[in-house]
Amino acid sequence: MSVVKRLAARLRGQPRLTEEAKAVRRRDAAGLPPHDPGAARVMAEGIAWLGRAQDHSATADGGAARHYSLMDGWAASYPETSGYIVPTLLRYGEEQADADASARGWRMLDWLVSIQFPEGGFQGGMIGQTPRVPVTFNTGQILMGLAAGAARNPAYLAPMRRAADWLAATQDPDGAWRRHPTPFAERGEKVYETHVAWGLMDAEAVSPGHGYLAAALRQVDWAIGRQAGNGWFPDCCLSDPEKPLTHTLGYALRGVVEAYLASREPRFLQAACRTADGLLSALGPDGRLPGRLDARWQPGADWVCLTGSSQVAHSWLLLHRQTGRADYLDAGRRANAWVRRTIAVDGPPQRRGAVAGSFPVDGGYGRWQYLNWACKFTIDSNREELLLAAGR
């Protein structure tokens, strides 16, 4: 299909664009901007944008707005991603002596504790979405924030343990979680719930001796038992298991990396490298990673999922630390630089420092939106790049 036909197909059935959306679409249509603002600037602007996402949440509750939309503005707070934004804010506040970032992280965490179900789980979706039911994946992501809080203040140990205990109690014997799926994605087993297992690993590090690590590793073993020889994972997408998003592949990969870091079991490093190598084969010389990939690691989309690029870049950099492989370091740097070039570090505050769902902005993931988790993962990956550059 020609570029013109693809564009026409993409535009059919879309609502009338705002002037802001038209302007950003024109900018993206001109191609990737040449200027790389650098890792430190992108991190600082991203932290500031997360603060604005907290301040402008449509529900004004202390959580981070799920996104800023070029079509209809700021969204309601999103518990799932607010959960793993907390460690990013707290760590940045400590490392950069940024009291505002730290205070925002604690405020976000207190809000999350206030909405925890009595049994320990957390809801799926945004605040105000229904049904409001406990969901495995969302609970695992919020558990990361609870663990970050509990590591710094024992007042958060009880809510952390409630969440971790609920996840362990609702796990099936083979390691998978099937009982509490999100109502906001396609049903079925999800290999990318290795990212839930990571939350349990964090809880184990803070409060050992409760079986959290064993439960986490059971899930990761289940996941890598389904891994193809070339590293590809089935059932690893929100909507299209045949051509998963790099975002959900990034979730799956990071959970396996964390399993190795927590256990030092070689099978997890081997499995992580298989997936990392497959993703490496799809990376362009300029750092462009297609937003969807099929079982042969061939492109399944003509746009880039910026969230996934940052997640995968971070895992490549972490694997470089463990293996010494220069190709992982190079890939992580190239992918980070590509994403950085899409980020405006000046201009309107609702977009300054923000990371779009897709490039171009009307691509198939988070269309017309700047996503809080895209910003979070970009900050984290660029931090890792700076640490490596400093020899830390």
- Give the Cα separation of 84 and 5 in Å (integer): 39
Q: What is the pLDDT of residue 336?
A: 98
- How big, in percent rounded to 5, are the helix, strand and coil portions of the chain? 55, 5, 40
C-beta atoms surrounding 285 within 10 Å: 6
Predicted confidence (pLDDT) per residue in 155-205, tens digit: 999 999 999 999 999 999 999 999 998 888 777 899 999 999 999 999 999
C-beta atoms surrounding 174 within 10 Å: 11
Phi, psi of 243, rounded to the nearest 5 degrees: -135, 75
Tell whether omega for the bond before 181 is within 30 degrees of 0, i.e. cis.
Answer: no
Residue 64 has pLDDT above 70, yes or no: yes
Q: What is the pLDDT of residue 182?
A: 87
Q: Which segments within the chain are labelled E, that is strand?
A: 67-69, 73-74, 304-305, 358-359, 369-371
Segment 303-332 shows an average pLDDT of 98
- Give the Cα separation of 353 and 364 in Å (integer): 21
Q: What is the pLDDT of residue 3?
A: 46
Choose among 118, 55, 110: nearest CA to 79. Answer: 110
What's the CATH class of domain 227-392? mainly alpha
Beta bridge partners of 245: 292
Q: Report yes or no: 349 and 17 within 8 Å, Cβ to Cβ.
A: no
- Give the Cα separation of 236 and 371 in Å (integer): 20
- The tokens of 391 are what? 């020899």
CA 297 to chain centre: 20
Q: How confident is the model at residue 10 (pLDDT cuts 50, 70, 90)?
A: low
The domain spans of the chain are 57-177, 227-392
